[in-house]
């Protein structure tokens, strides 16, 4: 799965030694905000010191996070685990409905009525059908 957005939080790295294997481990959590009419936030984790250094994620950076989702059970409760396996740096897509700098301004109010009707999202009003026509629609 992919999420594209801006990094809004870089949490401190966590490290330790595995009790099972005795190997050292390191992970770091990040929060990405996905733009939209209602922006969404998602916490994801990068596991492994080599990947943390390789991706070198910074605050306010625009990225696409490629990740896997898994869940695990602990003491009768379930927890989600969102692990990133790749980070692609790039531009966050514009928010739908947000003003764009290169957008043309609205047409002036003195525009011809035909021009306004051509761009109207609603069809023009129609006269009622004459009695006895084959149109059997109730509206």
Paired sense of beta strands 2-10 and 62-74, if any: antiparallel
pLDDT, tens digit, for every residue of 111-136?
445 554 556 666 666 666 566 666 66
pLDDT, tens digit, for every residue of 44-53?
999 999 999 9
E strands, the chain, are 2-10, 14-17, 24-34, 40-47, 62-74, 77-89
Please report how many Cα atoms fall inside a 13 Å half-sphere around the Cα of residue 43, on the Cβ side. Answer: 8
pTM for the complete prediction? 0.63
């Amino acid at each position: 799965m992919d999420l594209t957005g801006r990094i809004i939080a870089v949490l401190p790295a966590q490290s330790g030694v595995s009790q099972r294997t005795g190997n050292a481990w390191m992970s770091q959590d990040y929060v990405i905000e996905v733009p939209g009419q209602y922006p969404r936030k998602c916490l994801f984790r990068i596991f492994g010191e080599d990947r943390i250094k390789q991706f070198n994620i910074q605050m306010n950076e625009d990225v696409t996070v490629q990740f896997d989702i898994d869940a695990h059970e602990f003491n009768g409760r379930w927890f989600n685990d969102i692990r990133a396996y790749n980070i692609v740096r790039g531009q966050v897509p514009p928010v739908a409905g947000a003003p764009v700098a290169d957008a043309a301004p609205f047409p002036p109010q003195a525009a011809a009525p035909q021009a306004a009707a051509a761009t109207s999202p609603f069809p023009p009003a129609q006269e009622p059908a004459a009695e006895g026509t084959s149109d059997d629609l109730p509206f």
